[in-house]
Structure formats: structure tokens, C-alpha cells
């Protein structure tokens, strides 16, 4: 008994595949979902990157303060372009160095050990301290853990490459060495 597959309706439907309208509808739905999802994903990854960068500075400042107290001598964190020397300019987006600084001159002299270094921030993110009077290229913690030479609370402002306020993060350092972070719009994070 021969069975002709073309006579069976189910066999004809299985060979048929997608029609052009079905394919266009499916592609339209995928396009809409991508149009909604991709910008949200990009914003989410930017926000996480910026939060990680400000936390990196926070951890290095806390580490420097703890080392100064533990070792009983000054430790400095300074802005650096090359990871070897202090920049002398208050732009921290190119990176920074943590080093022992017993003489407190905020310059790496012979015999002063580098403890940590941080490379430049990703995606052209920018990191600046407050302007006058705390526009500082370095922060030194003395053996008691105080931030020496600050006129008051210093606020760092970290902006993504779009200067999107939603992704802006701030870090405060007080003269007693206390550190904290905030999002844009909170008490000290409005620049």
C-alpha cells in the first residue's frame, strides 16, 4: 500500500515553513525588544562601572589610612599619570598611587615604598576633587589616621563619559579620615 505524502494535510503544512508576513512580525517583535532592552543594559553597565571605580578609590583611601595607623607613619594617595610618580595636578581620572610617605611631602622619594597603584579609569570617565579650597593632587594620612592639609571635607566627583547625572558618584573624605560615597542628588553630591 503506497501512501502519497502530498495527500496528507499535516505533511503539506510541515514542508511549508514560515511565510513572509510571519517572518516580518517575528523580526519586528525582536527589534522592539532590542530597542527597549539595549539602552537599559548600557545604562546598567555604565552605572556599575562608575560605582566600581569610585569604590576603588574609596578602598585605596581606607587602605592608606589603615596603613598609616598600623605603621605609625604617613601614607599618601596621589593622582598619577604613569603609576610611578605623583602628577602634581588634581585630575585623578588617570589613576593614583598609594605609598609610604614618612616625610609627608606627597612625593615618592627614594626608599619610600609604593603600596598600590590604580590605572586610568575606563571609557574616559572623569574624576575631580572639589574646586577651591580642596583642589588637591594628593591626600596624606598621618599616624593618627587624620587627612593632613585638608581645609574641610573633600568631595571627589566621578562622571561617566556622557556626564550623565544618574551615573555620577561622589566620595567624601573628612579631615579626621572618614570616607563615604553618595549618588548624584544626595547631600554632598550635586556638581
Give the pLDDT confidence of 104-133 residue by residue, as tens digits.
Answer: 999 999 999 999 999 999 989 999 998 777
In sequence order, the 6+-apart residues with CB closer than 8 A to the CB of 114 are: 84, 97, 98, 99, 108
| Mean local confidence (pLDDT), 74-99 | 95
What's the CATH number for 5-183?
Answer: 3.55.40.10
Whether the per-residue pLDDT at 69 is higher than 90: the answer is: yes
**Residue spans per domain, the chain:** 5-183
The model carries a pTM of 0.79
Q: What is the pLDDT of residue 23?
A: 85
Amino acid at each position: 500500500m503506497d501512501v502519497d505524502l502530498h495527500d496528507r494535510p499535516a505533511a503539506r503544512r510541515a514542508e511549508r515553513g514560515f511565510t513572509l508576513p510571519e517572518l516580518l512580525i517575528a523580526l519586528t517583535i525582536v527589534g522592539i525588544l532590542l530597542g527597549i532592552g539595549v539602552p537599559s543594559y548600557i545604562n546598567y553597565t555604565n552605572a556599575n562601572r562608575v560605582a566600581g571605580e569610585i569604590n576603588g578609590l574609596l578602598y585605596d583611601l581606607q587602605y592608606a589610612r589603615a596603613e598609616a595607623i598600623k605603621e605609625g607613619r604617613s601614607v599618601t594617595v596621589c593622582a598619577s599619570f604613569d603609576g610611578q610618580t605623583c602628577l602634581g595636578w588634581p585630575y585623578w581620572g588617570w589613576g593614583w598611587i598609594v605609598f609610604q610617605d614618612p616625610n609627608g611631602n606627597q612625593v615618592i622619594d627614594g626608599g619610600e615604598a609604593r603600596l598600590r597603584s590604580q590605572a586610568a579609569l575606563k571609557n574616559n570617565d572623569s574624576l575631580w576633587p572639589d574646586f577651591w579650597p580642596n583642589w588637591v593632587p594628593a591626600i596624606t594620612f598621618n599616624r593618627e589616621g587624620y587627612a593632613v592639609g585638608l581645609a574641610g571635607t573633600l568631595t571627589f566627583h566621578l562622571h561617566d563619559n556622557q556626564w550623565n547625572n544618574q551615573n555620577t558618584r561622589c566620595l567624601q573624605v573628612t579631615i579626621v579620615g572618614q570616607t563615604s560615597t553618595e549618588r548624584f542628588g544626595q547631600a554632598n553630591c550635586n556638581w
